[in-house]
Amino acid sequence: MANRQIKGQQKLRVTDESEELIHRTIKNNYQSTFPIVGMGGSAGSFHAFELFFQRMPIDANMAFVIVMHLEPTHNVDIATLLQHSTSMPIVEAEDGMRIEPNSVYIIPPGKDMGMHNGHLLLFNAHTTRGARMAIDHFLQSLAEDQWNNAVSIIFSGMGSDGETGVRMIKEKLGMAMAQDPATAEYSSMPLTSIKTGLVDYIIAPEEMPVKLVQYLSHPVLQHNATEEISLDRSNQTHVQKILMLLRSQTGHDFTLYKKNTITRRIERRIAFHQLPDYVHYVNYLRENPVEVETLFNELLIGVTKFFRDHNAFDVLREHLYTHLLQKPVDEPIRIWIAGCSTGEEAYSIAILLTEYLDTMRLKRLPKAQIFATDLDANAIEHARAGYYFGNIASEVSASRLERFFVKRNNGYVVKKEVREMIVFAQHNLIKDAPFTRLDLLCCRNVMIYLTTDLQRKIIPVFHYSLNPKGLLFLGPAESIGSFSESFDALDSKWKLFEKKDGVANSVKMIDFPFHITQQSNKSKEQPIKIMEKNSLAENFHKVLLNQYSPSSLLVNDKGEILYINGEVDNYLKLHSGDAVMNIHRMAREEIKYALGNAIHQAWKERGTTEVKDFKVTINGTAHLIGFNVAYLNEAPLAGLLLIVFKERAMLKKSRAKSGDIDPAKNGAVEELEKELIYTKQQLHSTIEQMETSMEELKSTNEELQSTNEELQSTNEEALTTKEEMQSLNEELMTINLQYQNKAEELTNLNNDMKNLLDNTEIGTIFLDNQLNILRFTPQVNKLFNVIPTDVGRSITHIVSNFDYPAIENTIIEVIERLSGKELEIKTKKNEWYNLRIMPYRTIDNFISGAVLTFTKITPLKALENKLSTLMTYVQSVVDSLPDAAIILDKNAKVLVVNDAFLRLFQLREYEVKEQFFMEIAHNRWGTNKLDHLLLEHGLREFFFQHEFPGLDLVNLKVEISYVTESPVTENTALIMTFKAVEIGKQKKKE
């Protein structure tokens, strides 16, 4: 089965089998365009797989990866057995195999499996103290690789494998299913995943395909996880309504969380309920408060593990121990884990701290306080319980499990000594006060969900919370942003920072608690205009109001008069200068302070303030008046103040009777007492106003300081950016200069090449792989009717001046076979050219076309013809000789031989012509007697006796003639004639 392969299957070469490869961050590097369903099962799951695939459409555009606990000795072919339930191809996974849609892949026995860039990776099975976590292993890798295209389904099985994988799938916006425990042969695995509260569907295997297809095909999910969601204004409004419902029911405000994350979580719930759009989901939330809680929990999904990122905790341990060693023993150790989720990270740090205290062996251990907080109340309850499933054995070493945990049922419970070190509490990082005087603040993988503006506000709070040299531990994808001057980076990779010693406390920079302030555009207060109506009732009310209603004013919170009713001359007075309709400027001196105090009190208490029996002098006559100041709550006058004046009586002068108290003195005392009372009230009011103003000024000052810090930080960032830009500009200038030099070199080389080609009198054409002309020299015009504008045209479209129709095929053959070809061609003007076709090789040794060179050989061809004619003539002369004759060149190579020679020595022409005479003598005749004779220059004749093959002993007379100016050889030619003097009658004896 391992040899079967899906059609079109591609493989990725994998050489590194390190387990860390699966868990490395590969986000957004590759994401398939179809969902990939990770199916985990163990004991009793095969029947569930059969039921699932019997109902699963074969063209749903999904891929399925089955992960089971198969031992190396397992010899049952699961793929073949399961193939009976579906017509989709089912194969056993191979290392590097690319996943294709509408296909099923099964983990091989004895292997763990991961995923990277849409390819399956196989590893040797890893067992942690008897427990294999192959399903967790694959699902975590699937979540990291595919994000919202990842789906997990947990089927029947024993143990807790799959629980961590489900958490990771949900964190990465995937979907999770689990088999209904009532239908599972072994319910432990699905139950463990269900207890996380993150499983979307808990149903029987045969019901899963329908839900799976419905969910994944919902329109709101049809976009990539890496894309930024862009909503129209209507849907943005609906999202705001959803956030308001969340805040109203849960008390938590998510407006400062990243909108993309919030929107995707909302879309998952829309798809889960199969609602058509945001409008229907808003209505569904209003009608179902339980769904509000579900959405709230969905937004708080956080995945954590014991000692998550082991290398990060190794770095933390080293620096934390160094920090604590420098700390006085009598000072408490204070640690805050913000966003602790279900507590794994808090307990991990508590274990590190306990191990440190164990190594100290002090008589009196310092007090250790660890605060672990999270927004999710359910997660806090889980953390307080301290119970975790057995799969933590793959995260915690055996020695730590034994030292800090107690085995209970199928899981582990944190021991009391570690549990009592930690205070778990629900805490809102955004609006609740922070913990202070900390040695370590751990906030990992929380800020990635918050907006950049909120992150800028949280970092100063962290700085404020830490002691000098305190440690800040963030997630690998987080940073301190622009606050690098407040922290030293101890480890940039694992984001461990130390608060700089001597840096001013960052309380100045804190804007806390965080809230959204919306500034409304306040227009200038406009006097309320009373529209006159012509109705009888309105006129009647107007007369009644003017004749019988008390004098009154309508003012705003600033004291500006908006409307006047009745006579108010007794209470208000115009002053010279600019006309200002303000009650505080126009009120008479006698009532100014009392009236101002009443206005302030009414505004502050949002109620009514009454002042009675106040004495004023009007036109020399004393009057006793009172007034009410009422805060108006009803629209359209809400927020305004109504001042009603009431004249109690006119005080009359009375004569004093004998024996009575002097009325003048009595009145003066009463007047002084009233003035003293009102003076005290005014003083108290003034003090309150001053205190309020001081608080406001203090708050404003802090805001200005914070703004100043932010501006300084921004200015520093701008300066840094400017320096970087200057440096970058210098680098660009250097690179530009290098490019200019290169361009100049190329220009010179191009000029050299052009002049070389133009002056060699060799026609040259450069072609690409499609035989299009790239460049040509002027000499080519004699062979092709080509002009400069023909560059880019195929050479097959150009008319040639020679007769060689097969040139196209020849060029193609040269390009394909990578070997050159040379031939001679004749033009229509009877000119001869040597055509050489060679492949065009780049510097990188790639073939990108062909080069054609045309060398004129007309004179050479004429000489060749002349030589051929001459050789024919010489041959005829030699043939006319009666004796055997040959002509040799200066190297003793046979140039011409006559028939008499061939007959005499019983040879064929090809055995003699173009052969060295010495080789003929040695090889054919078996003698070297002629060597020294031929070397004796000037010798004219000699006699030679030899037994030739097939002949008797032969006596030869050899005559030699020398031609010093030979037209057919170089300088010297040798003519030899052979004449038999005597031929014996007897044959050579055997």
Task: Check whether 19 has a pLDDT greater than 50.
Answer: no
Mean pLDDT is highest, among 495-499, 794-798, 862-866, 976-980, for 495-499
Q: Which residue has the tokens 């205070």?
A: 423
Q: Is there a catalytic annotation at residue 69?
A: yes
636 contacts: CB under 8 Å, gap ≥ 6? none
What are the structure tokens assigned to 132, written together?
């294999």
Burial (CB < 10 A; 0-12, 13-18, 19+), residue 406, is middle
The answer to whether 885 and 901 are in contact (CB under 8 A) is: yes
Q: How far apart are CA 48 and CA 31, in angstroms?
A: 29
Given the residues 45, 69, 218, 465, the one annotated as active site: 69
Higher pLDDT, 816 or 513: 816
Task: Check whether 371 has a pLDDT greater than 50.
Answer: yes
Give the residues across from 631 on adjacent strands.
Answer: 641
Q: Is there a catalytic annotation at residue 161?
A: yes
**In angstroms, how far is CA 12 from the centroid of its own chain?**
21
Q: How far apart are CA 256 and CA 514, in angstroms?
A: 9
The whole-chain average pLDDT of the chain stands at 80
Backbone angles phi, psi at 397, to 5 degrees: -65, 160
Per-residue pLDDT band for 654 (boundaries 50, 70, 90) equals very low
Task: Check whether 556 has a pLDDT greater than 70.
Answer: yes
Per-residue pLDDT band for 176 (boundaries 50, 70, 90) equals very high
Per-residue pLDDT band for 232 (boundaries 50, 70, 90) equals confident
Per-residue pLDDT band for 335 (boundaries 50, 70, 90) equals very high
What does the pLDDT average to over 264-292?
90
Task: Check whether 985 has a pLDDT greater than 50.
Answer: no
Q: Is there a catalytic annotation at residue 42?
A: yes
pLDDT tens, position by position, 570-623 = 888 877 666 778 888 888 877 887 888 888 888 888 888 888 777 777 777 777
pLDDT attached to residue 989: 39
**Dihedral-angle region of residue 72 (phi above 0 means left; psi in -120 to 50 means alpha; beta otherwise):** alpha
Please tell me whether residue 230 adopts helix, strand or coil conformation: coil
What are the structure tokens assigned to 306, written together?
């014991």
Amino acid at 187: S
The answer to whether 216 and 73 are in contact (CB under 8 A) is: no
Per-residue pLDDT band for 690 (boundaries 50, 70, 90) equals confident
pLDDT tens, position by position, 746-793 = 888 888 877 877 777 788 899 998 999 988 888 888 888 888 888 889
Please tell me whether residue 472 adopts helix, strand or coil conformation: strand
pLDDT tens, position by position, 243-272 = 888 888 887 778 878 888 888 889 989 999
Amino acid at 72: P
Higher pLDDT, 151 or 507: 151
Per-residue pLDDT band for 712 (boundaries 50, 70, 90) equals low
Given the residues 112, 136, 145, 161, the one annotated as active site: 161
Quote the Cα angle for 179-182-183, to 5°.
60
pLDDT tens, position by position, 66-107 = 999 877 776 778 888 899 999 999 999 999 999 999 999 999
888 contacts: CB under 8 Å, gap ≥ 6? 894, 895, 917, 973, 974, 975, 976
Burial (CB < 10 A; 0-12, 13-18, 19+), residue 929, is exposed
pLDDT tens, position by position, 4-13 = 344 334 433 3
What does the pLDDT average to over 903-930?
78
What are the structure tokens assigned to 952, written together?
């008797």
**Of all residues in the chain, what percent carry a pLDDT higher than 70?**
79
Per-residue pLDDT band for 973 (boundaries 50, 70, 90) equals confident
pLDDT attached to residue 723: 77
* 920 DSSP 8-state letter: I
pLDDT attached to residue 477: 85
Q: How far apart are CA 312 and CA 880, in angstroms?
A: 104
**Of all residues in the chain, what percent carry a pLDDT higher than 90?**
22
pLDDT attached to residue 575: 72
What are the structure tokens assigned to 408, written together?
């209970």
The answer to whether 642 and 630 are in contact (CB under 8 A) is: yes
Task: Check whether 58 has a pLDDT greater than 60.
Answer: yes
Give the residues across from 499 on adjacent strands.
Answer: 487
H helices, E strands: number in the chain:
27, 36
Q: How far apart are CA 173 and CA 261, in angstroms?
A: 9
pLDDT attached to residue 621: 76
408 contacts: CB under 8 Å, gap ≥ 6? 387
pLDDT attached to residue 177: 96
Helices 233-250, 259-272: axis angle to 10 degrees equals 90
Given the residues 42, 141, 394, 486, the one annotated as active site: 42
